[in-house]
Amino acid sequence: MLSCISNPSKTFSEERDKEKVLEILKILDSHTIDVDTQLSVYSDDVIHMGQGSPAISNLKDLKAMLIEERKWGHSEMKHEAYEIHSYEDHVIVRGGVTGTWFAKDGSTQMPFKTNNLITLKRTEDDELKVWHVIFNRIENQ
Average pLDDT, the chain: 92
Return the H-helix or E-strand segment holding 39: helix 35-39
Residue 1 lies in a domain: no
Residue 42 lies in a domain: yes
The 10s digit of each residue's pLDDT in 34-67 is: 999 999 999 999 999 999 999 999 999 999 999 9
Residue 107 lies in a domain: yes
Distance CA 127, CA 109 (A): 36
The whole-number average pLDDT for the span 80-88 is 97
The end-to-end CA distance of the chain, in Å, is 40
The whole-number average pLDDT for the span 107-133 is 96
Q: Which domain holds residue 98?
A: 14-137
- Give the distance between the most distant pair of CA atoms in the chain: 53
Using CB atoms within 10 Å of the CB of residue 12, give its burial: 0 to 12 exposed, 13 to 18 middle, 19+ buried. Answer: middle
Q: Quote the pTM value.
A: 0.89
> Is the pLDDT score of 139 beyond 80?
no
Residue 6 lies in a domain: no
Q: How many domains does the chain have?
A: 1
Distance CA 87, CA 137 (A): 28
Alpha helices by DSSP H, listed for 49-135, are: 59-72
**Nearest Cα to Cα of residue 39 among 59, 21, 61:** 59
**Nearest Cα to Cα of residue 105 among 77, 76, 72, 75:** 72
Domain at 124, CATH number: 3.10.450.50
Residue 133 lies in a domain: yes
Tell me what pLDDT residue 12 has: 85
Residue 2 lies in a domain: no
Residue 114 lies in a domain: yes
pLDDT-derived band at 1, boundaries 50, 70, 90: very low
**Nearest Cα to Cα of residue 14 among 96, 78, 83, 115:** 83
Cα 111 from chain centroid (whole Å):
19
> Is the pLDDT score of 115 beyond 70?
yes
Tell me what pLDDT residue 2 has: 47
> Is the pLDDT score of 138 beyond 50?
yes
Tell me what pLDDT residue 141 has: 54
